[in-house]
Amino acid sequence: MRYWVVYVAGAKAQVNYSIGKQKGIWGLKKITSQSQINNMQVGDQIIFVQQLKWQSINGDVPKGFPKFLKDPQQFKGIVSEIVIGEITKGYYQDSSIVWQDNEYRHRFNFKIKEQVTNVLFNMEEFGSELIEATLKSIKSGGDACFVGNNKIINFTKLDDFGLDIDPNEFKDFSVNEGYVKFIENHKYLERNRKIVKLKKQKVLTSQKCLKCEICGFDFADFYGEELGQGFAECHHINPLSESGNVKTKLSDLIIICANCHKMIHRRKPWLSPQELKDIVENQKSKIRSV
């Protein structure tokens, strides 16, 4: 399967992008002699990457970010939206009115298959081919650039890349949790999934993996990246059932595998993460000594 990418940036481009999504048409004002858009075929996959923003957690913004970056490794951050579509009509020229500011006569048609907002976008997540092609699309003014023939994204897992909140809030982000609510006479402790997602995102950004902080198990290592990448559970260091209505910070959560999570909750009172970690280390020592 063949993949293409278009980078969308700027207020005018985003207005036209919304119109293009509604009508299933994308157009360019002009193309250069290096453009490959005329090689588009029906059935090819098109990826729209909208507005890359730098994450403060990665340090100072690189000079020339994002358009004039020389190192593709620095082309990373959060994109406002990724849309994946399928080409329904390859390259053609048409001057009929679709957008108000220009005719954008170099066109192709597509249908949307998947879309997600606030996506962590870097070489580790999406691979060098897509990152380099997206950077090329920026430098060419939004031309459709050929990515390659490899599968870029598992559509069924695209939502795993999405964030509900701004990752620039890593340091100060907190949410209220633990207050009691009743649904059909059943008692529940209110939890907030946003902070769990952001905790995983922070660890992935800094460590490139989600290893259990108790036993070191990594789902991606064991099951392979296609199935295990980005999967883990989170555990509240201070149980909500005991702490009540509290403001939960990222530092109040740990990354944990399903087995260790079950073991922590097996006893009452629950084991602390350090207590379970000591048990695991003790068992490992016994196994090594055999």
| Spatial separation of the C-alpha atoms in residues 20 and 44, rounded to whole Å | 17
What does the pLDDT look like over 63-102, one tens digit per residue? 888 888 878 788 888 888 889 999 999 999 999 999 988 8
Q: Into how many domains does the chain fold?
A: 2
What does the pLDDT look like over 153-211, one tens digit per residue? 543 344 444 444 444 544 444 444 433 333 233 333 334 567 788 888 888 888 888 99
Query: Are 251 and 181 within one domain?
Result: yes
Q: Which domain holds residue 109?
A: 3-161
**Residue with structure tokens 């952001």?**
198
Query: Are 204 and 84 within one domain?
Result: no
pLDDT of residue 111: 96
The last residue of one of the domains, among 118, 140, 161, is 161
Query: Are 46 and 186 within one domain?
Result: no
| Spatial separation of the C-alpha atoms in residues 145 and 142, rounded to whole Å | 9
**Two tokens, residue 55:** 């994450």
Q: Residue 59's domain is classified under what CATH number?
A: 3.10.590.10
Query: Are 120 and 28 within one domain?
Result: yes
pLDDT of residue 191: 45
On whether the pTM is more than 0.75, the answer is: no
Residue 66: name the closest of 20, 118, 117, 8 by CA. 8
Residue 27: name the closest of 86, 98, 107 by CA. 107
Query: Are 51 and 132 within one domain?
Result: yes
Query: Are 140 and 173 within one domain?
Result: no
Over range 227-247, report the average pLDDT: 74
| Spatial separation of the C-alpha atoms in residues 106 and 92, rounded to whole Å | 6
Query: Are 153 and 199 within one domain?
Result: no
